[in-house]
Amino acid sequence: MFDFLAESPSDRARLCGAGASRREFLQVGALAAAGLSLPQLLRARAEGRVRPGHDRRSCIMIFNLGGPSHIDLWDMKPDAPSEVRGPFKPVRTRSDAFEISELLPGHARIADQFSLVRSCHHDGAAVHDAGWQIMQTGRRFAGGIQTPHAGAVASHLMGRRTDLPPFVVLPQLMGRGGGNLPNGQAGGFLGKAHDPFALMADPSQKNFRVPDLLPPDQIGAARLERRRRMREIVDGAVSAFEASEDARLMDENFHAAFRMMTSEQARAAFDLSREPEKVRERYGMNRFGQCCLLARRLVEAGVRFVTINTFLTVFDEITWDIHGSKPFTSIAGMKDIVCPMYDRAYTALVEDLSERGLLGDTLVANLAEFGRTPKVNPAGGRDHWPQCFSVYFAGGGVKGGRVVGKSDPIGGYPAERPVKPGDVVATIFHSLGLDPSGHLPGPGGRPFPLTDLGTEPIRELFA
């Protein structure tokens, strides 16, 4: 993530009279991706931003990139015409409140641990990246303002607890979505200091390691010495700069990144080889399964917010994007490949968190950019449909086995208790102990509301 060795002669323009190159200052700025420090949490407490008793709360956001079919999975319509209900059958679950698809037997077994919201909708364009930004930030970007991911807000308001960054994305940031729009997985106007630490590796691969968390003897003396020089650069700056907020942030971010890169705690948290083989197999020896296991390890080690992208793009791989014909996924591909992998890993994650006593303080939020069309298309698949879809939550104070909202008889539109993306993000903030009616330092220093007027946490999940 942070390469302090590469520097070309053209980068050696000296700045600030302190012997620092332009590139060195840019590199120090890049360290902000590691997050900020514990004093942020103390300030947040003092200002009443984190409710008492919520200091240990975390969130794992599973983002179901591609848009799963709510009608085939979580909101089935067995009495609808065949072109609506599709080929799959509902099954009873451990909750008396709902049935779900036969494709998700693990979910059915732990249905008392999570609750469904069947009336989510948004008015954004029916393209993937438009939905990505809306569902992860609670807003559609407008006027050149990119609002921060919910994890970036947690980073800003709650800070870090350990040497690990407060906000992590696994296995890496989302790729292309077809709309050429920002995907919402960044710090937005909060700045690079609150961008996530992106793993940029597949934890299911043999000999998986995080490059920037190698032991000091493998990093090399030269690279360590270069990182130490970053501190000297800051110390050698002119006094006016030293007194500025930028200098303070640069100093904090340098130390945060250096601590993480050289921390045994950080290396241990990312080291899946420390898990028994049977635990790894429980999650599934694939990229998504091992990301779920890694997310459990990270929140256990003190990370505030982990986002798992079930897939990286809707192109060139089998995903939830079941248009039915190549190059997209077929209904058979969802049934035989996607659902078994996803069901196994999600079930293992929730059960493992529960068994370790972590579920009460860890919200697991399963989101998506949209659902799928009520009617099966001529290719046997379903197309994009933001007008109504399902999301669901476990842990973090959520009562399991419940259903909030209802769709119409064909799953086309909310019929009861419509839920907006802002409500979903407000629910995440509420679970973390943050006040959704609070404010952030917005563009130009103006107060910016955490959530739009009229949005509310889905309180029925917690009552």
pLDDT tens sequence across 424-462: 999 999 999 999 999 999 998 899 999 998 999 999 999
Q: Is 312 helix (H, G, I), strand (E, B) or coil?
A: coil
Find out whether 272 and 134 touch, Cβ atoms under 8 Å. no
Neighbours of 102 (CB within 10 A): 16
Q: What is the pLDDT of residue 260?
A: 72
Residues 6+ apart with CB under 8 A from 387: 121, 412, 413
If pLDDT is split at 50, 70 and 90, which confidence band does 207 have?
confident
Q: Which of 426, 362, 418, 430 is nearest to 390 (CA)?
A: 418
What is the pTM for the complete model shown?
0.84
pLDDT in the model for residue 195: 96
The rounded distance, in Å, linking the Cα atoms of 67 and 171 is 18
Tokens found for residue 232: 């000297």
The amino acid at 62: I
pLDDT band of 234, cuts 50, 70, 90: low
- pLDDT of 226 above 90: no
Per-residue pLDDT, 171: 97
Residue with tokens 């404010």: 439
- Residue 346 Cα to chain centre, angstroms: 15
pLDDT given for residue 35 in this prediction: 36
**Encoding tokens for residue 327?**
């190059």
Q: Give the pLDDT score at 276.
A: 97
Residues 65, 312: contact at Cβ < 8 Å? yes
Mean of pLDDT values over 301-328 = 95
CA distances from 129 to 64, 65, 180, 184, 428 (A): 12, 9, 7, 8, 21
As a whole number of angstroms, the longest Cα–Cα distance in the chain is 75
- d(C-alpha 414, C-alpha 251), whole Å: 49
Between CA 38 and CA 436 the distance in angstroms is 22
**48-62, 153-167, 181-195, 208-222, range with the lowest pLDDT:** 208-222
Whose CA is closest to 293, among 352, 363, 233, 361?
A: 352
Q: Report the 10 Å Cβ neighbour count for 409.
A: 13
Q: Shortest CA distance to 150 belongs to which of 101, 196, 193?
A: 196
Q: What is the pLDDT of residues 101-124, one digit of tens each?
A: 999 999 999 999 999 999 999 999
Q: Mean pLDDT across the stretch 66-86?
A: 97
Does 300 have pLDDT greater than 60? yes
| Domains delineated in the chain | 58-206+271-461 (3.40.720.10)
pLDDT score of 223:
54
pLDDT of residue 11: 37
How would you classify the pairing of strands 305-309 and 167-170?
Answer: parallel
**Residue 209's pLDDT is what?**
83
**Dihedral of the CA atoms 416, 394, 149, 316 (nearest 10)?**
-90
Q: How many CB atoms lie within 10 A of CB 240?
A: 9
Q: Identify which has the larger pLDDT, 195 or 13.
A: 195
Q: Where are the alpha helices (DSSP H) in 47-175?
A: 70-73, 82-85, 105-109, 128-137, 150-158
7 is written with which tokens? 């520097």
